[in-house]
Amino acid sequence: MRSDAIKKGMERAPHRSLLKAMGYTNEEIRRPLIGIAHAHNEIIPGHVHLDKILDAVKTGVRIAGGTPIAFGTIGVCDGIAMNHKGMKYSLASREIIADSVEIMAMAHPFDALVLIPNCDKVTPGMLMAMLRVNIPAVMVSGGPMLTGRFQGRDVHLVSVFEGVGKVRAGSMTEEELSELEDQACPSCGSCAGMFTANSMNCLTEALGLGLPGNGTIPAVASARIRLAKEAGMAVMNLLAKDIRPRDIATRQAFENAMAVDMALGCSTNTVLHVPAIAGEAGVDLPLATFNEVSVRVPHVCSLIPGGPHSLQQLDEAGGIQAVMSELCNTEAGLHLDVMTATGQTLGENLSKIKVRDREIIKPVSAPYHKVGGIAVLYGNLAPDGAVVKQSAVSDEMMVHSGPARVYNSEEEAQTAIMGGQIKPGDVVVIRYCGPKGGPGMPEMLSPTSAIIGMGLGKSVALITDGRFSGGTQGACIGHVSPEAAVGGPIALVEEGDRIVVNIREHALSLDVPKEVLAERRKHWLAPAPKITTGYAARYAKMVTSGSTGAVLS
């Protein structure tokens, strides 16, 4: 066993002595040592209950004959970090999380790993580490939050963000907003809806690195505790069979996960995380791959925020396994011979799966949209690509052109939107917010929610080299690459320039002559770094383009 390096033989007596200092018995030391990386803390609603998940995983490991050894990682709540300096640290935390799990697993040679994340950057960070270390491992998330109820309708965190815009527009009172604030987030768990956290937890299941149910069983359900126990037992099975993460996360498995991404209408942040995770597995996923998959995979689930259905309803309809079963009916189908964390192939997992509710999971022959949820746009404004969740865009905004309203920070744009300066037809441009320029590619949930809340969602587009929350809806195009901070074309846009968005044709262009742009470039100056000390400053120097997953060079 890998752990023999710290426990076997006379020379390892000092190591065993240190283990015994923590109360481990000879029998516990003799068994396989299973590292459990968890992100429990008391600042993230999706993580506050992970101590309960951890206890259940430990139980499962012990049932199957292993010794569980827990250690913690950091995490950022994107909602709490939103719209202030804290958001510059969110994406950057992904690399710290991956590195910290790698450090713990290499310094202490565990025989296998169970990883317990839940929220936005923690799940991809742990997946990156899992594939980097490549010892038998399984992931079990904390599960989604329940939706709240307000004035007879389902609500969630983004409802509150949008409520701020509604108060400004006069369609909601401050008293109603206060009541909504109390009702929108009724339980622990990752924020209700197909936002980034739930997107990544669903894709973990689709990729085969999480057990069936990982993406959709509610955080407060007893089934989530049972799943955690099963994950603890499953990792022992993977260890016995020597099935490792890279045996599971093959090119074919990533293609399956991307198909599920398109079918669900997942967060645009998956376009950052999936290539970064694939890179750790030695799988190359160019940005254009997302369009290739989107063209052949229909959008069969209409989930919050772009649609009416919740993660709980998706779970009741059969969850991700039922979605994958339905996707087997597409012309390209899925790769059914890939291995999964159950120790069985995907085909074996799906053999008895059926869709339980056709209102929640549509047939591929009658989908919500014939193409998948995400589109990558190209053009002279985004030579290396830009990303939009097309399943959350109204028909009116699939093709749009209008004058640019240019802002060099999210704060400037938010002030303009809330001040009523944005008019129907405008194209809001928020730049110098990319991986380097942000730094950390901050999310734009506040301005996008304000646009929706103020009734401009069907008449205003927003374009940024930053990124969007999975809770964003509307014609919001992010990840514009190259970013402004390195002289990308978005840096050359001026107030009033006409921008043309054609999502159906995967096009994003600036209607300005080449010679004019060339003249503007002569006068462009690279901006000074916004943060000059600490981790964010180091990150800005090392991070690569959003078009390649914003990984570190």
3-state secondary structure of 339: strand
Task: Tokens for 244, please give them.
Answer: 């490792």
Judge contact between 343 and 243, C-beta under 8 A.
yes
* 234/229 Cα distance (integer angstroms): 9
Residues marked active site are found at 469
Q: With the CA atoms of 166, 172, 176 and 182 taken in that order, what torsion angle do they form, in degrees rounded to the nearest 10? A: -10
- Give the DSSP H or E segment for 277: helix 270-280
Dihedral sign, Cα of residue 287, residue 289, residue 292, residue 293: negative
* 234/211 Cα distance (integer angstroms): 8
- Calculate the alpha carbon distances from 95 to 192, 216, 304, 467 in Å: 25, 26, 28, 17
Q: Is the peptide bond before 136 cis (omega within 30 degrees of 0)?
A: no
Instruction: Report long-range pairs for 168-173 (Cβ below 8 Å, ≥24 apart).
Output: 168/418, 168/420, 168/450, 168/453, 168/454, 169/453, 169/454, 169/455, 171/453, 171/455
* 246/281 Cα distance (integer angstroms): 6
* 308/293 Cα distance (integer angstroms): 24
Judge contact between 76 and 121, C-beta under 8 A.
yes
Helix axis angle, 251-264 to 319-327, nearest 10° = 100
Judge contact between 49 and 55, C-beta under 8 A.
no
Dihedral sign, Cα of residue 387, residue 44, residue 209, residue 103: positive
3-state secondary structure 420-475: CCCCCCCEEEECCCCCCCCCCCCECHHHHHHHHHCCCCCCCEEEECCECCCCCCCC
Exposed, middle or buried: residue 252 (CB in 10 Å: 0-12, 13-18, 19+)?
A: middle
Exposed, middle or buried: residue 411 (CB in 10 Å: 0-12, 13-18, 19+)?
A: middle
The residues pairing with 153 across neighbouring beta strands, listed in sequence order, are 150
Judge contact between 327 and 260, C-beta under 8 A.
yes
Judge contact between 246 and 447, C-beta under 8 A.
no
